[in-house]
Amino acid sequence: MRTLRLAMAQINTTVGDLEGNTARVLEYIQRAKAQEADLVAFPEMVLTGYPPEDLLFKPSFIQANIQRMDEVVAHSQGITVVVGFVDSRGDIHNAAAVARDGQLLGIYHKIYLPNYGVFDEERYFKAGSECPVFVINGISIGVNICEDIWYALGPTAVQREAGAEVIVNINASPYYAGKRGFRERMVATRASDNQVYTSYTNMVGGQDELVFDGGSMAFDQRGELIARGKQFQEDLVVVDLDLEAALRYRLRDPRPRKERHILGTVGSPQVVHVSDYAPGKPKIALGPSVSEPLEPLAEIYSALVLGTRDYVLKTGFQKVVMGLSGGIDSSLTAAIAVDALGKENVLGVAMPSRYSAESSLLDARALAHNLGIEMITVPIEEAFKAMLHTLLDPFRGTKPDVTEENLQTRIRGNILMALSNKIGWLVLTTGNKSEVSTGYTTLYGDMAGGFAVIKDVPKTLVYKLARHRNAHGQPKNAIPTSVMEKAPTAELRPNQTDQDTLPPYDVLDRILQAYVEEDRSFADMVDMGFDQETVQRVITMVDRNEYKRRQSPPGVKITPRALGRDRRLPIVNRYKQF
């Protein structure tokens, strides 16, 4: 019986760390060998990390990555290795090298280059034109990369027509909420439509604003899931493929034969014959390798934790400092930071003003106690008085307004940055997507920092994640109940609440979903039942504050349309919808 033991190595790499990434690949090759795998697949551009962006304009970087690929090839004794790298034949290509027994068998160049959302691959790469199939030990294996698998009549169909029995697709597919199910349905469809085993090896880890969630998977010729890796963790997923069963199934279905006349527009097939089938020694059968997927809130929370951990550690920091106001946003951010870095690596700073309620300070202290983090208190009253005195003459004849409010948050930003400079800890900001979208944030104030953990988390989701953390985190119920029950407030003037300036968050977030995520027009949103005046106000706030968002720190992407990389609007913009 012809079988293939396939290993999918979803590993956490760092952009530009060619030495470290290569060492990780070599480690997992040995782990795959220890499990008697015949083939081990690594993620897309695993040697360079993804996305390397303008590092690709540096010839020395390209050459160094090719040298690392050669090193991986030399370590492929006794196993087939599929590894992502950047090739430079003629032009540069997003490529996959296929090696065995110390020999480079061939290279696949990615054909479909994504150039939307967070992807800019057409900026860097030339598209490939060949769809190779490698016959190794009598088993025909087609290799392609990420976007290539999303096309029904793409490289997979060409490779199937050239005899491929197994498709090995390698990926750097970034996370957003709900994407796992979308991916699985798509890969299952490719497998069943082409009657081939189809594997999908995905990267894991955080890179700037992106998080790669792993969840590598394999489907049989019927489109049934036979393996799934862990989410948000490194994993080596190993599965046995019964090629005889796939062949019997395939012979009974003539549908693919009718597509031959249109496949030539995709890429030319190429068969690389390496070795005929030769039975090996029997292997101990593997048990099921299907990890259970996380529930939606657990999935999002895990993405925030991983994205925070990797951003902090990969940029060379170990510890973080953040303001603790006693509010829901700073409380959730603190909990995420503790889960990402450990309680000993998080410092909370309470900075009360004349408008801070005593209950807010008590809530901040309770949170710090529950999480086990150190908290210091730095009152801002004297600094605020000094600023008001300094500006007394320039402000003479004017009434207090948002200017005086912003002075307070800018003082707090200065304190946090001063602590960061002095002790070398990275500042985490605590603004959520609802605030960032509408500009309900202070430039050089609460926006000052190195990483914005919940920048892509709408306010209504902040509450859901806080309840999730209280129910499932350690310790449980770390975020005080009083924090979740009180009305949100910036506490920058007497008796202030967020709803003095913003619509209720349940309304605001639905409008922002329609406008920011779905690009709906003003007329569309009014037709959806939203109040016309409210929609006008929200659109105006969103459009007017693009200049602020351009100056905000990066943050974890968890929605399909994150502000920044996904949504790029001009700052100077006179287009009006009403």
Residue range 408-424: average pLDDT?
Answer: 95
Q: Which two tokens stand for residue 445?
A: 């104030």
Residue 514 covered by a domain: no
Please confirm whether the linkage preceding 553 is cis (ω < 30° from 0). no
pLDDT (0 to 100) of residue 252: 65
Judge whether residue 441 has pLDDT over 60.
Answer: yes
Shared domain for 232 and 368, answered yes or no, is: no
166-171, strands of its sheet edge to edge: 268-273, 130-136, 139-145, 166-171, 197-202, 217-219, 225-228, 289-290
Annotation marks residue 131 as catalytic: no
Instruction: List the catalytic residue out of 19, 27, 36, 44.
Output: 44
Contact between 461 and 300 (Cβ < 8 Å):
yes
Residues 128 and 11 in one domain: yes
Checking if the pLDDT of 228 tops 90, the result is yes
Clarify whether residues 253 and 313 are in a common domain.
no
pLDDT given at position 264: 61
**What is the per-residue pLDDT for 262?**
54
pLDDT value, residue 434: 96
Number of domains in the chain: 2
Instruction: List the domain range (segments joined by +) for residue 252.
Output: 3-277
* pLDDT of the residue at 257: 60
Query: Do 335 and 227 belong to one domain?
Result: no
pLDDT band at 260 (very low <50, low <70, confident <90, very high): low
Nearest Cα neighbor of 145 from 182, 74, 206, 93 is 93
For residue 35, what are its two tokens? 């499990």
Identify whether residues 266 and 181 lie together within a single domain. Answer: yes
What percentage of the chain has pLDDT greater than the value 70?
Answer: 97
**Active-site residue flag, 184:** no
User: What whole-number distance in Å separates Cα of residue 308 and Cα of residue 456?
Assistant: 13
Judge whether 522 lies within some domain: no
Residues 43 and 143 in one domain: yes
Same domain, 261 and 319: no
Residue with more model confidence, 303 or 258:
303
Residues in a beta bridge with 270: 132
The CATH number assigned to the domain holding 413 equals 3.40.50.620
Mean pLDDT lowest for which of 43-57, 276-290, 315-329, 428-442? 276-290
The two tokens of residue 82 are: 């599929």
- The verdict on residue 500 lying in a domain is no
Tell me what the mean pLDDT of segment 228-243 comes to.
95
**Per the residue annotation, which of 131, 146, 161, 209 is the catalytic one?**
146
Say whether 546 is catalytic: no
**Catalytic residue from among 19, 27, 36, 110:** 110
| DSSP helix/strand/coil, 207 | strand
Task: Report helix angle 459-472 to 505-512, nearest 10.
Answer: 110
> pLDDT per residue over 490-545, tens digit each?
877 887 787 878 899 999 999 999 999 999 999 999 999 999 999 999 999 999 99
Structure tokens at 47: 């040697």
HEC readout, 48-60 = CCCCCHHHHHCHH
- Residue-wise pLDDT for 135-163, tens only, equals 999 999 999 999 999 999 899 999 999 99
CA 333 to chain centre: 17
> How crowded is residue 74: how many other Cβ atoms within 10 Å of its Cβ?
13
**pLDDT score for 494:** 81
Question: Which of 165-179, 188-202, 562-576 is least confident?
Answer: 562-576
**289 within domain boundaries:** no
Residue 366 lies in a domain: yes
Residues 300 and 225 in one domain: no
- Residue ranges of alpha helices (H) inside 347-399 are 358-371, 381-390, 392-395
Confidence of residue 256 (pLDDT cuts 50, 70, 90): low
Same domain, 227 and 301: no
Check whether residue 173 and residue 41 sit in a common domain. Answer: yes
Same domain, 272 and 199: yes
pLDDT tens for each residue of 64-116: 999 999 999 999 999 999 999 999 988 999 999 999 999 999 999 999 999 98
pLDDT of 259 strictly over 60: no
In a domain? residue 139: yes
The DSSP 8-state label assigned to residue 514 in this structure reads I
| 566 part of a folded domain | no
Q: Residue 84 domain-assigned?
A: yes
Task: Say if CB 183 and CB 200 are below 8 A apart.
Answer: yes
Q: What is the pLDDT of residues 302-335, one digit of tens each?
A: 999 999 999 999 999 999 999 999 999 999 999 9
Residue 251 pLDDT exceeds 70: no
Q: What is the CATH number of the domain that holds 204?
A: 3.60.110.10
What pLDDT score was predicted for residue 30?
97
Do residues 273 and 303 both lie within one domain? Answer: no
